[in-house]
């Protein structure tokens, strides 16, 4: 029996997951850490936290499983996207990594659009310039820390710093690379035009690989640190969203992944490099060779429900809060909820957007508000679905839902009705780390390709079908929901100022 390890270096912890050749999860361990906010809107992290977390978590899964480390046949990597790691010629970290949720680069985003034009930028990269992406962070360092920039010899993403510590090499997968805003989406590699416009030498960037490809071998030093055998192949892996989609089997067109956590992510695999012309969707390469994906992001999905419970019913469990909401008619008797509690990204990249209840009357009770929150989040996620269907000509056959919000049967039914599509759950719950482990298995030959790996390890465990009558009622309510943001945008801006 051979085994494979998936490493997921997220913003708050590094997880190691060990699976066997049947895709059975044998052991899981996570090492937590924090990030810093040295100034308002800034978000930074020391890269060595990811490495120490990797070492500790790998040793934990080896101890839990008691397997012979020689039986491990490959490592796949995933992690938080868009972060900027700068190394000097000796491989030393020059400054703390600037993370995906850092918001300091608004001026740099404007500068990128000025140099290229938004239309050309979206046509090449598939994306508009947003503060979360890596390229604006690079421009910020060029302008504000020129002495650091002059010493920079390597630009890496967070998980690829872990790769560097494991193998001593500099490499990146195409899915994570596409999230830097420096990629030619169609060519699946760095764009010479973007690099020239932003004055970034290509020599600073790592070589790119498809998700299952071998990018290097475990060094003697990393073997000693982790307890794994030297020479173990390390595969490219993928950014956390692409690896997470593999982890639930969303690897072909028609199967859409919906991650319903604090934020909400709608992820659709496409057979071509489709682009939403206004850049309202993210368009990246997939970790599946020869495929791409479109992605919409809502900032406060299950986060909206958590806020609602903590504010109005802190002593109640989620089940207790939502049970009475099941008796409220679809549409919450005219009550609508906007889920923009922390601004929004899709379809409105607007940090000043705000949440709202609209249509309140004396008839409405707490159960009405609870159901309206569930419906409002579902309407907001449908915005991403509509953009995806229009941009990529994607026919949604099935939605695979995961995350904490997926535990609610009522919310699953509401989502199925509002999307007018089948909603299913699957047997895998470890997300990106599981996807990274599958990519390692494909690279090591345990499965011939990613599709086969998912077919053999991932099974549907539950299905929620839409109710045609309720779906029609929600379709009418959705038109009212869509009118709210344009109407309230001037108010949001005024209140924020």
* Residues annotated catalytic, as ranges: 240
Pairing mode, strands 292-298 and 336-338 = unpaired
d(CA 247, CA 249): 6
Length of the chain: 497
Residues 164, 170: contact at Cβ < 8 Å? yes
Quick one: which of 492, 265, 261 has its CA closest to 358? 492
Q: Which residues pair with 260 in a beta bridge?
A: 264
DSSP letter (8 states) at residue 301: S
Task: Answer left, alpha or beta for residue 23, where phi above 0 means left and psi between -120 and 50 means alpha.
Answer: left
Report the candidate in 160, 158, 162 with the shortest Cα–Cα distance to residue 57: 162
3-state secondary structure 329-377: CCCHHHCEEECCECEECCCCCECCCCCEEECCCCCCCHHHHHHHHHHHH
The pairing of strands 233-235 and 183-184 is unpaired
Closest CA to 340 of 253, 424, 263: 263
Q: Which two tokens stand for residue 407?
A: 């535990």
243: left (phi over 0), alpha (psi -120 to 50) or beta: alpha
The backbone torsions φ and ψ at residue 295, rounded to the nearest 5 degrees and listed phi first, read -145, 135
Q: Which residue has the tokens 């008691």?
A: 66
Beta bridge partners of 284: 293
């Amino acid at each position: 029996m051979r085994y494979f390890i998936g490493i997921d270096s997220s913003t708050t912890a590094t997880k190691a997951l060990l699976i066997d050749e049947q895709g059975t999860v044998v052991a899981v361990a996570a090492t937590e850490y924090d990030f810093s906010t040295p100034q308002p809107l800034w978000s930074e992290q020391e890269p060595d936290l990811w490495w120490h977390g990797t070492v500790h978590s790998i040793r934990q899964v080896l101890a839990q499983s008691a397997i012979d480390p020689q039986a491990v046949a490959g490592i796949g990597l995933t992690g938080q996207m868009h972060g900027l790691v700068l190394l000097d010629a000796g491989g030393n970290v020059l400054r703390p990594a600037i993370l995906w949720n850092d918001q300091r680069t608004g001026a740099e985003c404007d500068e990128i659009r000025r140099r290229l034009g938004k239309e050309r930028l979206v046509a090449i990269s598939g994306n508009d310039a947003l503060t979360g992406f890596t390229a604006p962070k690079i421009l910020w360092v060029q302008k504000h820390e020129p002495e650091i920039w002059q010493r920079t010899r390597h630009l890496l993403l967070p998980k690829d710093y872990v790769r560097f510590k494991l193998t001593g090499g500099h490499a990146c997968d195409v899915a994570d690379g596409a999230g830097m805003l420096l990629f030619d989406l169609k060519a699946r590699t760095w764009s010479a035009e973007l690099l020239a416009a932003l004055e970034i030498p290509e020599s600073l960037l790592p070589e790119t690989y498809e998700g299952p490809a071998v990018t290097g071998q475990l060094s003697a030093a990393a073997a000693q640190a982790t307890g794994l055998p030297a020479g173990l192949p390390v595969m490219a892996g993928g950014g956390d969203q692409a690896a997470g989609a593999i982890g639930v089997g969303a690897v072909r067109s028609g199967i859409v992944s919906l991650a319903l956590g604090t934020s909400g992510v709608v992820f659709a695999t496409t057979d071509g490099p489709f682009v939403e012309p206004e850049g309202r969707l993210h368009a990246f390469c997939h970790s599946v060779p020869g495929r791409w994906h479109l992605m919409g992001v809502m900032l406060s999905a299950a986060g909206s429900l958590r806020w609602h419970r903590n504010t109005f019913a802190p002593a109640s469990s989620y089940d207790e809060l939502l049970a009475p909401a099941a008796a409220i008619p679809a549409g919450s008797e005219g009550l609508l909820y906007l889920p923009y509690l922390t601004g929004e990204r899709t379809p409105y990249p607007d940090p000043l957007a705000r949440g709202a209840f609209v249509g309140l009357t004396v008839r409405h009770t707490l159960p009405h508000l609870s159901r309206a929150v569930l419906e409002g989040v579902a309407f907001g996620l449908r915005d991403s679905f509509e953009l995806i269907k229009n941009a990529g000509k994607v026919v949604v056959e099935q939605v695979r839902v995961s995350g904490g919000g997926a535990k609610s049967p009522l919310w699953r039914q509401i989502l199925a009705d509002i999307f007018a599509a089948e909603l299913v759950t699957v047997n895998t719950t470890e997300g990106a780390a599981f996807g990274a482990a599958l990519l390692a298995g494909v690279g090591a030959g345990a499965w011939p390709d990613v599709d086969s790996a998912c077919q053999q390890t991932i099974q549907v465990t539950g299905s929620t079908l839409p109710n045609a009558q309720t779906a029609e009622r929600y379709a009418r309510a959705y038109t009212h929901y869509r009118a709210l943001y344009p109407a309230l945008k001037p108010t949001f801006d005024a209140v924020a100022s």
